[in-house]
Amino acid sequence: GEDVEQSLFLSVREGDSSVINCTYTDSSSTYLYWYKQEPGAGLQLLTYIFSNMDMKQDQRLTVLLNKKDKHLSLRIADTQTGDSAIYFCAESMEGNYGGSQGNLIFGKGTKLSVKP
């Protein structure tokens, strides 16, 4: 079955690095995503990684994928108070014609609190 799991809470101090972890169960997952949700807002796509990659870096964000352990992490360097939000990990599988099948399976989200 499909399941995506994340820890529910993470608290860090401003300026430190944050690492948010996620595990998934479906080995056929092809795309893995990180979304950010600020209070009262929709989900904003932060970054994504294809399953044939180990790492992706985008400014302060680093995504690491361990496909063998089905473990995905998001590292935020120099965490700021504006990074306080809920971060969702999501997976999707490849569709018949390439690209994604379309539907995303989300974890329950990790609430990141950044203390000044």
Partner 1 sequence: DAGVIQSPRHEVTEMGQEVTLRCKPISGHDYLFWYRQTMMRGLELLIYFNNNVPIDDSGMPEDRFSAKMPNASFSTLKIQPSEPRDSAVYFCASSLRRARAFFGQGTRLTVV
Summarize as ranges the residues that interact with partner 1 (CB under 8 A).
31, 33, 35, 41-45, 48, 88, 92, 99-109
By beta-carbon proximity to partner 1, the closer residue of 38 and 78 is 38
User: Among candidates 10, 16, 47, 17, which has minimal Cα distance to 32?
Assistant: 47
By beta-carbon proximity to partner 1, the closer residue of 7 and 101 is 101
CB of 48 vs partner 1, minimal distance in Å:
6
88 pairs with which residues across the strands?
A: 35
By beta-carbon proximity to partner 1, the closer residue of 15 and 99 is 99
The dihedral through the CA atoms of 114, 10, 63, 94 has a sign that is: negative
